[in-house]
């Protein structure tokens, strides 16, 4: 009954990185409905099923409402005073005994910029280390690493609405209809108007129905495929010579080096490596290179491999030789998985970079930051910290003693979970701050009840660099508190108090002082609509397309990185004859902490499965609905079979949201040497019928 609605609060969706603007209707202190906000980008009134119905978790009876302390092996309720005193004492003791680098923190892509900014400030100034990272390391780290080196920014170069108006779109390793549904609505509209869509994916996705062409390479052969496309582009002189001469470092000399490297990737050789027919490779190269404008959306399929950085380099090489970047409706856009995965890195939750992507080694920036933060310059470490998986590996080897996790659930999201589990058990002290019990709180010494997105003010940054307001709609349940207030209190109890911020707008103002890309933004400016960074001054309108005048590299030019295809380090063997791929589905979200506590979403689907090709199923003698055991050299799980020709023979696919069948029991923690990402997409496994 809408007449009983007490208030309507405009905020930003808590799920994917599209950043849809929603209006929460509140009655009797509870959210009763979620509507899309019309006339405002990026969604203009549209919402997917998660934005429309996914708020139910906020009022779940399973919410954490009291701090919990482990006593005699059990987590028992405690007061805030008891919990914070214990945490401050334990972390201080560990720092004193083993040094600042024995401590680490996981920030959260589900928390606001203000929460994350305060969290990284805490890790840097109170712990005194740069050991801070979060889930971006598990998703787009290699994309960002390659983009930073090649073009100078790791963020998407265009606006979400450009997905409708570009002439050609390559979607590679990204199930965009299920993972970024509202961005996909722009793509579908573009397709209806004649946009050419090239899907590159080893697994069928719903976008294939809209595609001009679908290239289905074998898992782990992306570099070969893209080198093959670049060779075809060069062979047909679809190259933008003037762009290369004026905007690429080394000009034609650098181009000739790339040309020489890709020469061996003839369509026939590329077909042999990738399994993609030579004619399709030629067609895709022609469609992309000859389009007037073209964009690329790249996802986890490209990044979550030990060759992830090289995969994205090869993609960027193709973009640069055709000059399809630095102008409207041309560029590269990595749609972000979580709502604030862009923002958390922007505000400094990175082991090697301060807010605004400034290296920790930059002395001048450290001096400026120390002054703004009011801390001695010497307190800020110039040593890059450990990344997410490295923190776990260091805990396993006894080098990390204390870990503070805010809103992350590594016991589902990290690779090689059996190893992660052992590492967490070895910690002297683990604090988890979250809104629910998770698979990770089982190992915590203290659990702190935090606020959901609907209970806090602040900002998120979406996939097109749009800073968007988050507004409080309802109160926290029980004794739960806003994340930044918990961290703020802890800093004081550890003897290093932060300023007395009166509200989140004041935190943002401080953040803007140390983050040049958002220096011109304030909460007040975001009242009506979001602003895309870079926005250097209060008068600046924001930037919809990047690199129109220069790339954000030291020289202002982009850089080609010729890279060779190499075989994956883990391949099918007689013992483990299948390659397992993993990913997301429409109705669930990451580790399931939020989406699986929504009745509406779980009514759609709520059980794990593995997709097996019909020919493999017939060889195994298994039918849809039957159960199988899947085993890698790291671990094992049991799940239900779904037979479909969505995957190639010899390849499997599983959604990774489900605790009942934890895919990451099977994955590896071998890392890409440049980005330190783990290869979630490629695990050799065997299948046994139960
Ligand atoms: Fe939320 Fe993403 Fe769906 Fe938009 S597309 S409603 S941001 S989950």
Q: Nearest C-alpha to atom 3 of ligand 1 is from which residue?
A: 48
- The CATH number of 578-689 is 2.40.40.20
Comparing CA positions, the residue from 21, 52, 15 lying closest to residue 39 is: 21
Distance (Å, whole) CA 440 – CA 446: 11
Does 461 contact ligand 1 (Cβ within 6 A)? no
Mean model confidence pLDDT for the chain = 96
Comparing CA positions, the residue from 175, 264, 191, 245 lying closest to residue 653 is: 175
Atom of ligand 1 nearest to the CA of 14: 1
Helices and strands of the chain, counted as H and E runs? 24, 26
Is the pLDDT confidence value at 383 over 90? yes
Supply the pTM of this predicted model: 0.95
> Ligand 1: distance of its center to the CA of 20 in Å?
5
Each residue of 137-193: pLDDT tens digit? 888 889 999 999 999 999 999 999 999 999 999 999 999 999 999 999 999 999 999
Each residue of 437-461: pLDDT tens digit? 999 999 999 999 999 999 999 999 9
Distance (Å, whole) CA 663 – CA 584: 12
CB 289 within 8 A of CB 317: no
Q: Nearest C-alpha to atom 6 of ligand 1 is from which residue?
A: 51
Distance (Å, whole) CA 467 – CA 479: 30
Does 468 contact ligand 1 (Cβ within 6 A)? no
Each residue of 485-525: pLDDT tens digit? 999 999 999 999 999 999 999 999 999 999 999 999 999 99
Distance (Å, whole) CA 97 – CA 401: 10
- The CATH number of 141-333 is 3.40.228.10
Q: What is the pLDDT of residue 208?
A: 98
- The CATH number of 70-138+340-519 is 3.40.50.740
Whole-angstrom CA distances from 568 to 186, 265, 344, 565 are 35, 18, 31, 9
433 three-class SS: strand
Whole-angstrom CA distances from 38 to 44, 389, 608 are 4, 41, 36
> Ligand 1: distance of its center to the CA of 160 in Å?
13
Q: What is the mean pLDDT of residues 322-335?
A: 96
Distance (Å, whole) CA 116 – CA 407: 10
Q: Nearest C-alpha to atom 4 of ligand 1 is from which residue?
A: 20
Does 458 contact ligand 1 (Cβ within 6 A)? no
- Which element (helix H / strand E) includes 447? strand 446-449
Best probe residue, ligand 1, of 43, 44, 594 (max atoms within 8 Å of C-beta): 43
Angle between helices 141-150 and 308-321 (to 10 degrees): 40
CB 200 within 8 A of CB 170: yes
Each residue of 269-292: pLDDT tens digit? 999 999 999 999 999 999 999 999
User: Pairing between strand 132-133 and 103-106?
Assistant: parallel
Residues of the chain with CATH 2.20.25.90: 2-59
Asked if ipTM goes beyond 0.95, one says: yes
Q: What percent of the chain has pLDDT over 70?
A: 100
Locate 105 and state its tokens: 């923190």
Residues 6 or more apart in contact with residue 639 via CB below 8 angstroms = 608, 609, 610, 627, 628, 630, 654, 660, 661
Q: What is the pLDDT of residue 134?
A: 87
Atom of ligand 1 nearest to the CA of 22: 6
Residues of the chain with CATH 2.40.40.20: 578-689
Q: What is the mean pLDDT of residues 211-227?
A: 97
On the 0-12 / 13-18 / 19+ scale of CB atoms within 10 A, 153 is buried
Is the bond leading into 534 cis (omega within 30 degrees of zero)? yes
Does 47 contact ligand 1 (Cβ within 6 A)? yes
Domain at 2-59, CATH class? mainly beta
147 three-class SS: helix
Is the pLDDT confidence value at 337 over 90? no
Does 48 contact ligand 1 (Cβ within 6 A)? yes
Each residue of 102-140: pLDDT tens digit? 999 999 999 999 999 999 999 999 999 999 998 888 888
> Ligand 1: distance of its center to the CA of 17 in Å?
7
Does 181 contact ligand 1 (Cβ within 6 A)? yes
> Ligand 1: distance of its center to the CA of 16 in Å?
5
Under the banding of pLDDT at 50, 70 and 90, the label for residue 655 is: very high
Distance (Å, whole) CA 249 – CA 240: 14
Q: Nearest C-alpha to atom 1 of ligand 1 is from which residue?
A: 51
360 three-class SS: coil
Does 217 contact ligand 1 (Cβ within 6 A)? no
Location of structure tokens 């030789």: 321
Residue 619: CB atoms within 10 Å: 13
Does 289 contact ligand 1 (Cβ within 6 A)? no
Q: What is the pLDDT of residue 135?
A: 83
Residue 200: CB atoms within 10 Å: 27
Residues of the chain with CATH 3.40.50.740: 70-138+340-519
Distance (Å, whole) CA 315 – CA 383: 31
> Ligand 1: distance of its center to the CA of 686 in Å?
36
């Amino acid at each position: 009954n809408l007449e009983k609605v007490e208030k309507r609060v405009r905020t930003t969706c808590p799920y994917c990185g599209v950043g849809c603007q929603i209006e929460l209707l509140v009655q009797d202190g509870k959210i009763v409905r979620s509507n899309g906000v019309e006339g405002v980008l990026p969604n203009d009134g549209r919402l997917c099923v998660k934005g429309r119905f996914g708020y139910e978790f906020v009022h779940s009876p399973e919410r954490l409402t009291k701090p919990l302390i482990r006593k005699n092996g059990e987590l028992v309720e405690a007061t805030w005073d008891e919990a914070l005193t214990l945490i401050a004492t334990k972390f201080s003791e560990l720092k004193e005994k083993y040094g600042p680098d024995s401590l680490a923190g996981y920030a959260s892509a589900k928390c606001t910029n203000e929460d994350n900014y305060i969290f990284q400030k805490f890790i840097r100034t109170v712990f005194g280390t740069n050991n801070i990272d979060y889930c971006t390391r598990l998703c787009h780290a290699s994309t960002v690493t390659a983009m930073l080196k090649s073009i100078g920014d790791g963020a998407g170069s265009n606006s979400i609405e450009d997905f409708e108006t570009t002439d050609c779109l390559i979607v590679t390793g990204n199930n965009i209809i299920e993972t970024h549904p509202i961005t996909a609505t722009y793509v579908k509209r573009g397709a209806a108007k004649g946009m050419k869509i090239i899907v590159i994916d080893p697994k069928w996705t719903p976008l294939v129905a809209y595609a001009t062409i679908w290239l289905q390479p074998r898992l782990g052969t992306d570099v070969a495929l893209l080198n093959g496309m670049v060779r075809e582009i060069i062979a047909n002189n679809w190259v933008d010579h003037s762009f290369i001469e004026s905007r690429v470092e080394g000009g034609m000399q650098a181009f000739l080096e790339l040309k020489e490297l890709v020469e061996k990737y003839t369509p026939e050789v590329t077909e042999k490596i990738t399994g993609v027919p030579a004619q399709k490779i030629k067609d895709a190269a022609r469609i992309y290179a000859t389009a007037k404008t073209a964009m690329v959306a790249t996802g986890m399929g490209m990044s979550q491999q030990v060759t992830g950085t090289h995969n994205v380099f090869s993609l960027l090489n193709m973009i640069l030789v055709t000059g399809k970047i630095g102008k409207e409706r041309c560029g590269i856009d990595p749609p972000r998985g979580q709502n604030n995965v862009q923002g958390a890195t922007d505000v400094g939750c990175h082991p090697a970079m301060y807010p605004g992507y400034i290296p920790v080694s930059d002395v001048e920036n450290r001096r400026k930051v120390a002054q703004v933060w009011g801390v001695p310059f010497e307190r800020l470490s110039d040593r890059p910290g450990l990344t997410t998986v490295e923190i776990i590996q260091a805990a396993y080897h006894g080098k990390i003693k204390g870990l503070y996790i805010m809103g992350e659930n590594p016991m589902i999201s990290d690779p090689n979970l059996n190893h992660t589990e052992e590492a967490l058990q070895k910690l002297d002290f683990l604090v988890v701050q979250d809104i629910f019990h998770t698979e990770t709180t089982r190992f915590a010494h203290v659990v702190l009840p935090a606020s959901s997105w609907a209970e806090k003010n602040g900002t998120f940054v979406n996939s097109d660099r749009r800073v968007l307001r988050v507004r409080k709609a309802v109160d926290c349940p029980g004794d739960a508190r806003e994340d930044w207030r918990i961290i703020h209190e802890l800093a004081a109890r550890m003897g290093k108090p932060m300023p007395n911020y009166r509200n989140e707008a004041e935190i943002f103002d401080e953040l803007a002082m140390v983050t040049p890309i958002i220096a011109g933004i304030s909460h007040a400016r975001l009242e009506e609509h979001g602003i895309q960074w870079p926005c250097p001054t209060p008068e600046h309108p924001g930037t919809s397309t990047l690199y129109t005048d220069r790339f954000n590299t030291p020289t202002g030019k982009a850089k080609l990185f010729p890279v060779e295809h190499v075989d994956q380090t883990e391949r099918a063997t007689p013992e483990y004859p299948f390659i397992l791929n993993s990913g997301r589905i429409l109705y669930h979200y990451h580790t399931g902490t939020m989406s699986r506590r929504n009745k509406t979403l779980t009514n759609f689907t709520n059980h794990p499965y593995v997709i097996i090709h019909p020919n493999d199923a017939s060889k195994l003698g298994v039918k849809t609905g039957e159960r199988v055991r899947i085993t890698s050299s790291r671990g094992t799980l049991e799940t239900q079979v779904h037979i479909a020709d969505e995957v190639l023979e010899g390849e499997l696919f599983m959604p990774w949201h489900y605790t009942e069948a934890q895919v990451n029991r099977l994955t590896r923690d071998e890392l890409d040497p440049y980005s330190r990402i783990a290869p979630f997409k490629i695990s050799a496994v065997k299948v046994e019928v139960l």
